[in-house]
Amino acid sequence: MLDWTDRHCRYLLRLISRHALLYTEMVTTGAILHGRHARHLHHDATEHPLALQLGGSAPAELAECARIGADFGFDEINLNIGCPSDRVQSGRFGACLMAEPGLVAECVAAMKSAVSIPVTVKTRIGIDDMDSYAALANFIDTVAAADCNTFIIHARKAYLKGLSPKENRTVPPLKYEYAWQLKTDFPQLTIVVNGGINDLDAAELQLQHADGVMLGRAAYHDPYLLADVDRRFFDDSHPVLSRKQVVVAMLPYIEREQSDGTSLKHITRHMLGLFQGMPGARHWRRHLSHYAVQPGAGIDVVRQALQIIQNFNNNMTPTKDNRQQHG
């Protein structure tokens, strides 16, 4: 979710679910060690529980970044062994590390020695021709021996050559049974399933076989998908904000961020899908997409977009089904 789950996105998602564990976009060790800490690690206190996802392959560097992440208050450090992009491979991290389980174990051990918070691993089920369940089980067994107790399993293998990152999210077939078998063979581990899970019904089915579910692009494109997560999976029936209330709750955050120099477009791009599937959603997206990118765009753009979708709903001609539903 590189360039997607930044702090503005996470602030929005936290307004919708109190309990879902949120993850940062993947941050490379080099970006933390040789860049500006605040740019990559700054987050709002309301975002917790929050995991920092790292990309790297040098144990000492990962250990230092884990320590920095813990000092910044993250609740978990996650090592990404799932990204298949050429850029990531050239830096010797991401999915290509599945071919080096011993090195991944060293990385995990170094990170564990540096922090007291959980260290987890996100991985594919295989790469290229190294795609048997036996190879995956060996990888998990080797890394678990370094005291890693939680694995997030993207249930597709990755092709390191020949497919784009986008194609690697859709072309290799999903094999959820690999993740389920891991839970059977390693019952002491926490196994979280990822990949192709597009709604909460599908998530609930996965929980019959595994300990958790990670939602990615489905929750990004339709953030309000998370609205029923707390009640359904965390036994918390607190009142959930409506979509309109979420927008209103974002306004003080947007004002604060803009006063610190953040461009409106960097926040509103994460809000485009908030009304996904609702009447007027296209008008909402179109208004924000067109006006939030204009020089000097301010919070009134968001207020206008909200008013447009409200007017659209108020002025809709009732259908037969609507009349039946509303008496």
Report the catalytic residues.
83
Q: What is the C-alpha separation between 29 and 59, in angstroms, rounded?
A: 10
Q: Are 241 and 16 in contact (CB under 8 A)?
A: yes
Structure tokens at 145: 């021996």
Q: What are residue 183's DSSP bridge partners?
A: none
Q: Are 111 and 79 in contact (CB under 8 A)?
A: yes
Omega into 49 within 30° of 0, i.e. cis?
yes
Q: What is the C-alpha separation between 211 and 226, in angstroms, rounded?
A: 18
Q: Where are the beta strands (DSSP E) in the chain?
A: 22-23, 27-28, 50-55, 76-81, 119-124, 150-154, 190-194, 212-214
Give the list of residues 6+ apart from residue 81 with CB closer than 8 angstroms, or none: 93, 94, 95, 97, 98, 104, 121, 122, 123, 124
Q: What is the C-alpha separation between 75 and 96, in angstroms, rounded?
A: 26
Q: How distant is the alpha carbon of residue 250 from its chain centre?
A: 19
Q: Are 24 and 5 in contact (CB under 8 A)?
A: yes
Could you give the count of Cα atoms lying within 13 Å of 199 in the half-sphere of its Cβ? 1
How many other CB atoms are found less than 10 A from the CB of residue 199? 11
How many other CB atoms are found less than 10 A from the CB of residue 90? 10
